[in-house]
Amino acid sequence: MPPLRRRRWTRVEYDQLVEKGVFGSEDRLELLDGVLVVCEPQGSRHSGVVDLVREALERAFGRGYYVRGDKPMALDPASEPEPDVAVFPGRTRDYLDALPSAPLLVVEVADSSLALDRVRKGGLYARAGIADYWIVNLVDQVVEVYREPVRAPSRRHGWKYGSVKLLKRGAKIAPLAAPRARVRVADLLP
Amino acid sequence: MASVPVSHGDQTLWRLPRVRYERMVEKGILDSDDKLELLDGLLVVKEPQGSLHSSALLAAHRELSRAFGRRYIVRPGLPVALDEYSEPESDIAVVPGGPWTNKRRQPAKPLLVVEISMSSRAKDRFVKGGLYARAGIADYWVVNLVEEALEVYREPVRAPSWRYGWKYGSVKLLKRGAKVAPLAAPRSRIRVASLLP
C-alpha cells in the first residue's frame, strides 16, 4: 500500500479547529507533531492512578506549583498533547488565559499505551527540552524515569532521553524541580 | 460504514468525518493553497500537477463531455461526497444534471470516475480504487501516462485483504488503438488514443 502524505496541523490551527466547533466533545484527541491522534480510551484503573499521581505530586511540590491532570498543554508549534499529569511553576490562576507550556515534570500512566508513551511522546518531550519525564508503567508495576534529553538523529523526532531508570515499588524519587521532596514509587502504583 | 480506527505504528490516527471536513472548508480553516482531499478520514496532500497531467485532464474532459452529452456534467478536479469519511477530488467525475444541479452539496455517486496518473499510480490503483469500489462506483478509469494506456476498472467486489475491504473484480488495460464505451453511455465510443498524448 503506498504511503499517503497526510496534511499536518500546527497548534494554532488545531486550536482554531477546537474553537470553531469542528471537533465535538466526544472526540478525545491530541496533536502530536502535526498529526491528530486519538487518545487511548482510559479504564477506571488508569484514571484512578492518574489521581494517585496528581495527589502525590501535589504533596511533593507543595504551594507555588500547579499540578495539572489530563489537560492539554502547548508543547511545540505542532504539538498539543494531553499528558496524564504535568507540573508547572506558579498557581492555577496564572494559567486561566493560555495553555501552559514548559512543564517542570510530565508523567504518563501507561498500560496499553506504553510504546506510544516511551518512544513517540518521549521523543517529543525530549525534543521540547522537558528535563524530567516519568512513565508509571502499569504492566510491569514500575516507574520509568527519563532525564537528560540528548540528540538522537536516528529517532523519529531527533531526540531521546539519555538517562533512563526503572524504579520499583520500594524506591523513592526526587523530582528534578523539587529536589528535596521524596515521592514514594509505591504511592504512584495501584 | 463503521468508523474503523486507523492505526499507524503505535498511535491511532483520528479520522475526520466528511461533514466536519466540509465545515472546516466553509469556516475557512484550511487555507486556499492547501491542496487536499479527504480519503477515509485522513486529510491527504495532493501531488502538484504538471503540464502533461493538465493536458490529459483537458483531453478526458472534452472526450467525456462529447460522449455523455448535455444531460450530464463532466466535473474536472472537483470534490465528490464519496462516503461518510471521504471527499476525494477526482480528476474527472461524471454526474447527471448540469452545472447547478449540485450547488447545495457535492455529488455523491458519479457514473464514471477518471484519474490521470503519473507519480500517483499506486495511490490511484490501490487507495482510490479501493475507496471507489467500496462506494460502489461502477466504472473507474485510470489514464496511465507512464505506460500510455487506459486502465478500466469495473465490477466492485469484496476483498477482505485490501485496505478498504473492496476492489474491482474486472481490470482491463487498453492500448492506444482500442476504443472504450462508458458503462453509463454505452453507445458512445471513445478512442483511447484521444485520451493519451
ipTM of the complex in this document: 0.73
Return the number of other C-beta atoms located less than 10 Å from residue B183's C-beta: 11
Q: Is B56 exposed, middle or buried (0-12, 13-18, 19+ CB in 10 A)?
A: buried
Q: Name the region of A31 (left: φ>0; alpha: ψ -120 to 50; beta: rest).
A: beta
Q: Does B178 fall in a domain?
A: yes
- pLDDT band at A115; cut points 50, 70, 90: confident
What pLDDT score does B27 carry?
Answer: 82
Confidence (pLDDT) at B146: 94
Domain span including residue B116? 50-195
Which of B16, B43, B123 is opposite residue A2, by nearest beta carbon? B123
Going from the C-alpha of B172 to that of each of B143, B151, B158, B166, the distances in angstroms are 12, 6, 18, 17
Please indicate whether, in this complex, the C-beta atoms of B122 and A2 are within 8 angstroms of each other.
yes
Identify all chain B residues contacting A20, using CB atoms and an 8 Å cutoff.
23, 27, 29
CATH architecture of A41-188: Alpha-Beta Complex (3.90)
B127 to chain A, minimum CA–CA distance in Å? 7
Which uninterrupted H or E stretch holds A127? helix A122-127
Q: B42 and chain A: CB distance < 8 Å anywhere?
A: yes
Q: What confidence score (pLDDT) does residue A87 get?
A: 98
Note the pLDDT of residue B1.
Answer: 42
Q: Can you tell me the mean pLDDT for A161-165?
A: 97
Residue B86 lies inside a defined structural domain of this protein? yes
| Res B3: pLDDT | 43
Collapse the DSSP code of A11 into the 3-class scheme (helix H, G, I; strand E, B; otherwise coil) and give the result: helix
Residue B10 covered by a domain: no
CATH code, domain carrying B67: 3.90.1570.10
Number of domains in chain B: 1
Has residue B25 been placed in a domain? no
Instruction: Of A125, A120, A107, give the one whose Cα is nearest residue A69.
Output: A107
Instruction: Give me the pLDDT at residue B6, please.
Output: 60
DSSP assignment string, A46-105: HHHHHHHHHHHHHHHH-TTEEEEES---B-BTTBB---SEEEEES-GGGGSSS--BS-SE
Per-residue pLDDT, B32: 64
Higher pLDDT, A120 or A180: A180
Name chain B contacts of A19, Cβ cutoff 8 Å: none
Average per-residue pLDDT for chain B: 91
Is the model more confident about A98 or about A27?
A: A98
pLDDT for A3 equals 72
Q: Which amino acid is at A167?
A: L
Closest CA to B116 of B98, B89, B138: B89
Q: What is the pTM of this model?
A: 0.83
**Chain A closest-CA separation from residue B159 CA (Å):** 14
Q: Does B50 touch chain A (CB under 8 A)?
A: no
CA–CA distance from A42 to each of A45, A102, B60 (Å)? 8, 25, 51
The segments of chain B whose pLDDT lies below 50 read: 1-4
Chain B residues touching A17 at Cβ < 8 A: 24, 29
Please tell me which of the candidates B5, B36, B42 has its beta carbon nearest to residue A38.
Answer: B5
Could you tell me which residues come within 8 angstroms of residue B9 by beta carbon, excluding any fewer than 6 positions away? A120
Mean pLDDT of all residues in chain A? 92
List residues in chain A touching B: CB distance below 8 A.
1-2, 4-7, 13, 16-17, 20-23, 27, 29, 32, 35-38, 40, 115-116, 119-120
pLDDT at A17 over 80: yes
| A-to-B residue pairs, Cβ atoms closer than 8 angstroms | 65
Q: pLDDT tens for residues B41-98?
A: 999 988 888 999 999 999 999 999 999 999 999 999 999 999 999 999 999 999 999 9
Q: What is the 8-class DSSP label of residue A118? A: I
Q: Give the closest-approach CA distance of B166 to chain A in angstroms.
A: 14
What pLDDT band is residue A16 in, cutting at 50, 70 and 90? confident
Give the start-to-end residue ranges of the domains of chain A.
41-188
Question: Any chain A CB within 8 A of the CB of B29?
Answer: yes
pLDDT at position B167 is: 96
More confident residue, B176 or A25: B176
pLDDT bucket at A1, cuts 50 / 70 / 90: low
Average pLDDT of the residues in A69-73: 92
Residue B62 is assigned to a structural domain of this protein: yes
Pick from B11, B29, B39: which is nearest to A20 by CB? Answer: B29
Q: Does B89 map to a domain?
A: yes
- Minimum distance, in Å, between the CA of residue A69 and any CA atom of chain B: 21
**Has residue A77 got a pLDDT over 90?**
yes
User: pLDDT at position A131, please?
Assistant: 98
